[in-house]
Structure 1
């Protein structure tokens, strides 16, 4: 997930082939402009949230990879550890790992650096927890943390490269879609940032 601004382009109706080495997705932006009623309740057995700080950059990158590689998350994999340390040390950022049996199995990252807003920058659990209720609990905690700050808006965006149930999941949490965009990116598999055999549902990297 990245920023809330994009260039407005006139795209003609119809199909448009992409150059080799490129991927495209449709991005859905969702928001809440008032606190949502969901309460986190007790954590599922064996799960807890751990606040991450600058000393947790390696742990952060490990769980980021295990949660996000199949959805082609790549920006923090290629970033120097010093950049991740700086993000985690920033008082305007709050990142948490979802812990089970001493291992991080989920990630949520909130960015409060825009006054009055909370952006859910990264959110997800590893394959072992998908469908377990852990994501619903972690989302309720994310909303609770966000609205404990003096914000007027909670927002995020997801895309068609993410989990196919992502938009429905966020809507069940109470968020409302408000904008669509098209994103074109370099295929991280083509550049070697991720293995070439990830996402066999997509054409192989050029």
Structure 2
């Protein structure tokens, strides 16, 4: 079976087709960087989707990713529980990648995906110097992932099929 990877981007903040956060969902930036939290979130959100590329990473590798100046993390909470998260990583040219984005499995189907993605896009564009926002997803991701990215204004600019 083959896997299709979709690369999507947005060139201007006016392209955001946002959904407001529900009143019972709060999103907080982790301003004090803790690589252990990012590793936990990666596993919590990524396990249902087979996120495995960083499972074997050492503390030093996690620290190097998370503690760089151009890496930021936000966590979404619903009634005190972690509902999801996203990480942004900006390159030297100002392109911001939504490096990781997702909901915790217990919060699927509650309508949080669109508002959280809107928040991620707004946060990326609010970061001074941002020139472009991009993300990639694949056919192994949640069945609604690609539709959510498109519904928020991101456009596919490349597809890759791998066996």
Question: Normalized per residue, which structure has more strand?
Answer: 2
Which residues of structure 1 form unaligned runs of 5+?
1-22, 185-206
- Cα deviations by residue, 1:67-117 (Å, 9 ceiling, x for unpaired): 111111112322112322232211111111212344323120111124121
Residue in structure 2 matched with residue 109 of structure 1 by the alignment: 87
Over the aligned positions, Cα root-mean-square deviation in angstroms equals 2.1
Which 4+ runs in 1 deviate beyond 6 A? none
Name the count of aligned residue pairs.
161
1:172 to 148, 151, 163: 151
* Mapped pair 1:155 → 2:129: no
Corresponding residue of 1:90 = 68
SS at match of 1:120: strand
Structure 2: gaps spanning 5 or more residues: none
Give the conservation status (yes or no) of the 8 Å contact 1:48–1:98.
yes
Distance 1:136 1:114 in 2: 28
SS in 1 for 2:45: helix
Deviation (angstroms), 1:168: 0.9
TM-score by length of 1: 0.70
Larger Rg: 1
Identify the structure with bigger relative contact order (alpha carbons < 8 Å, sequence gap 6+).
2
Structure 1 range deviating more: 46-55 or 68-77: 46-55
- Taking structure 2 as the reference length, the TM-score comes to 0.86
